[in-house]
Chain A
Amino acid sequence: MLASLFLATVLIAALSGLPGLLGKDLDGKGAARLLALSALGGLGVAGATLAGPGWALDLAWSLPGARFTLRGDALGALFLMPVALVPAILAHYGTAYWPDSEHDRAPTLRFCFGLAVAAITLLCFAANAILFLVAWEVMAITCFLMVASEDRDAEVREASWIYLVAAHTGTLCLFGGFALVASARGSFDLGPIPMGWASGLPGTLAFLLFLMGFSLKAGLMPVHVWLPVAHAAAPSHVSAFLSGLITKMGILGLVRVMTWIPDPPLWWGGTLLTVGGLSAVLGLAFALGQRDMKRALAYSTIENIGLIAMGLGLAGVGKSTGNGTLVMLAGSGALLHVLNHSLFKSLLFLGAGSVAHATGTRNLERLGGLLKTMPWTGALFLVGATAIAGLPPFNGFVSEWLIYLGAFQSLPGWAWGACAIFALCLAGGLALATFARLFGITFLGEPRSETTHLADESPQPMLSAMKLLAAGCALIGLAPFLVFPVLDRAVSSLGPNLPYLRTQASPGLLSLVNALGLGFAWIAWLSLRNMASRPSGTWDCGYAAPTSRIQYTASSFAQLLEEPFRWALWPVRHLPRIRGLFPGPSHFRTEVPDPVLDRGLKPLFTVSSWVLGWMRVLQAGHLPIYLLYVVLTLVALLAWTLT
Chain B
Amino acid sequence: MSINLLLAATMLLNFMLVATSRVNKAIQLAAIQGSVLAVILLLMHEHWAFHVVLMALSTVAIKSVVIPILLTRAQARLKVIQEPPPYIGYTLSILLSALGTGLAFLLARRLPLQAGVLGTLFVPASLTTLFTGFLILTTRRRALTQVVGYLVLENGVYLFSLLLVKNMPLLVETGVLLDLVVGIFVMGIVINHIQQAFDSQDTQRLAHLRD
Question: Is B137 in contact with A624, judged by CB distance below 8 angstroms?
Answer: yes
Question: Is A623 in contact with B208, judged by CB distance below 8 angstroms?
Answer: no
A628 contacts partner chain B, Cβ-Cβ < 8 Å: yes
Cross-chain contact of A620 among B107, B110, B146, B210 (Cβ < 8 A): B210
B203 contacts partner chain A, Cβ-Cβ < 8 Å: yes
What is the CA–CA distance of A338 and B3 in the complex, to the nearest angstrom? 79
Question: Is B134 in contact with A627, judged by CB distance below 8 angstroms?
Answer: yes
Q: Enumerate chain B residues within 8 angstroms of A642, measured Cβ to Cβ.
A: 107, 110-111
A638 contacts partner chain B, Cβ-Cβ < 8 Å: yes
Which A residues between 249 and 297 are near B, CB-CB below 8 angstroms? none
What is the CA–CA distance of A638 and B100 in the complex, to the nearest angstrom? 14
Q: Enumerate chain B residues within 8 angstroms of A628, measured Cβ to Cβ.
A: 138
**Min C-beta distance of B43 to chain A, whole Å:** 28
Q: A638-B107, A642-B110, A642-B111 are in contact. Are A621 and B138 (CB under 8 A)?
A: no
Question: Is B137 in contact with A622, judged by CB distance below 8 angstroms?
Answer: no
Q: Enumerate chain B residues within 8 angstroms of A631, measured Cβ to Cβ.
A: 134, 138
B204 contacts partner chain A, Cβ-Cβ < 8 Å: yes
Q: Enumerate chain B residues within 8 angstroms of A620, measured Cβ to Cβ.
A: 207, 210
Question: Is A623 in contact with B203, judged by CB distance below 8 angstroms?
Answer: yes
Q: A638-B107, A642-B110, A642-B111 are in contact. Are A622 and B204 (CB under 8 A)?
A: yes
Which B residues between 112 and 153 are near A, CB-CB below 8 angstroms? 134, 137-140, 146
**Min C-beta distance of A623 to chain B, whole Å:** 5
Q: Enumerate chain B residues within 8 angstroms of A630, measured Cβ to Cβ.
A: 134
Interface centre among A625, A627, A628, A631 (most CB of B within 10 A): A627
What is the CA–CA distance of A407 and B145 in the complex, to the nearest angstrom? 78
**Min C-beta distance of B110 to chain A, whole Å:** 5
A62 contacts partner chain B, Cβ-Cβ < 8 Å: no
Q: Enumerate chain A residues within 8 angstroms of B203, measured Cβ to Cβ.
A: 622-624
A497 contacts partner chain B, Cβ-Cβ < 8 Å: no
B209 contacts partner chain A, Cβ-Cβ < 8 Å: yes
Question: Is A622 in contact with B206, judged by CB distance below 8 angstroms?
Answer: yes
B87 contacts partner chain A, Cβ-Cβ < 8 Å: yes
Question: Is A621 in contact with B209, judged by CB distance below 8 angstroms?
Answer: yes
Closest to A622 in B: B207
| Interface secondary structure of B, over-half rule | helix
Question: Is B207 in contact with A621, judged by CB distance below 8 angstroms?
Answer: yes
What is the CA–CA distance of A627 and B87 in the complex, to the nearest angstrom? 13
**Min C-beta distance of A541 to chain B, whole Å:** 65
Please, what's the 1-or-0 string for A27-66, where 1 marks a CB less than 8 Å from any CB in chain B? 0000000000000000000000000000000000000000
Which A residues between 502 and 559 are near B, CB-CB below 8 angstroms? none
Q: A638-B107, A642-B110, A642-B111 are in contact. Are A621 and B206 (CB under 8 A)?
A: yes
A4 contacts partner chain B, Cβ-Cβ < 8 Å: no
A619 contacts partner chain B, Cβ-Cβ < 8 Å: yes
Q: Enumerate chain B residues within 8 angstroms of A622, measured Cβ to Cβ.
A: 203-204, 206-207
- Please classify how large the interface on chain A is, using the bins under 10, 10 to 19, 20 to 34, 35 or more: 10 to 19
Which A residues between 590 and 640 are near B, CB-CB below 8 angstroms? 616, 619-625, 627-628, 630-631, 638
Chain B: how many interface residues by the 8 Å CB criterion?
Answer: 18
Q: Enumerate chain A residues within 8 angstroms of B137, measured Cβ to Cβ.
A: 624, 627
Question: Is B87 in contact with A619, judged by CB distance below 8 angstroms?
Answer: no
Q: Enumerate chain A residues within 8 angstroms of B206, measured Cβ to Cβ.
A: 621-623
Question: Is B210 in contact with A619, judged by CB distance below 8 angstroms?
Answer: yes
Closest to B131 in A: A631
**Min C-beta distance of A619 to chain B, whole Å:** 6
Closest to B138 in A: A624
**Min C-beta distance of A621 to chain B, whole Å:** 3
What is the CA–CA distance of A630 and B208 in the complex, to the nearest angstrom? 21
Q: A627-B137, A631-B138 are in contact. Are A621 and B146 (CB under 8 A)?
A: no
Q: Enumerate chain B residues within 8 angstroms of A621, measured Cβ to Cβ.
A: 206-210
What is the CA–CA distance of A295 and B159 in the complex, to the nearest angstrom? 67
What is the CA–CA distance of A638 and B206 in the complex, to the nearest angstrom? 31
What is the CA–CA distance of A630 and B87 in the complex, to the nearest angstrom? 17
What is the CA–CA distance of A51 and B207 in the complex, to the nearest angstrom? 67
Interface centre among A616, A631, A642 (most CB of B within 10 A): A631
Please, what's the 1-or-0 string for A465-482, where 1 marks a CB less than 8 Å from any CB in chain B? 000000000000000000
Please, what's the 1-or-0 string for B191-211, where 1 marks a CB less than 8 Å from any CB in chain A? 000000000000110111111
Q: Enumerate chain A residues within 8 angstroms of B87, measured Cβ to Cβ.
A: 624
What is the CA–CA distance of A627 and B209 in the complex, to the nearest angstrom? 17
Closest to A630 in B: B134
What is the CA–CA distance of A619 and B138 in the complex, to the nearest angstrom? 15
Q: Enumerate chain B residues within 8 angstroms of A624, measured Cβ to Cβ.
A: 87, 137-140, 146, 203
**Min C-beta distance of A452 to chain B, whole Å:** 45
What is the CA–CA distance of A627 and B131 in the complex, to the nearest angstrom? 12
Please, what's the 1-or-0 string for B81-97, where 1 marks a CB less than 8 Å from any CB in chain A? 00000010000000000
Instruction: Beyond the given A624-B87, A624-B138, please list 17 additional residue pairs across the A-B interface where CB-CB is below 8 A.
Output: A619-B210, A619-B211, A621-B206, A621-B207, A621-B209, A621-B210, A622-B203, A623-B146, A623-B203, A623-B206, A624-B146, A625-B138, A627-B134, A627-B138, A630-B134, A642-B107, A642-B111
A-B contact pairs, 28 of them (CB 8 A): A619-B210, A619-B211, A620-B207, A620-B210, A621-B206, A621-B207, A621-B208, A621-B209, A621-B210, A622-B203, A622-B206, A622-B207, A623-B203, A624-B87, A624-B138, A624-B140, A624-B146, A625-B138, A627-B134, A627-B137, A628-B138, A630-B134, A631-B134, A631-B138, A638-B107, A642-B107, A642-B110, A642-B111
Give the 5 A-B residue pairs with the shortest CB-CB distance, closest first: A621-B207, A621-B210, A624-B138, A631-B134, A627-B137
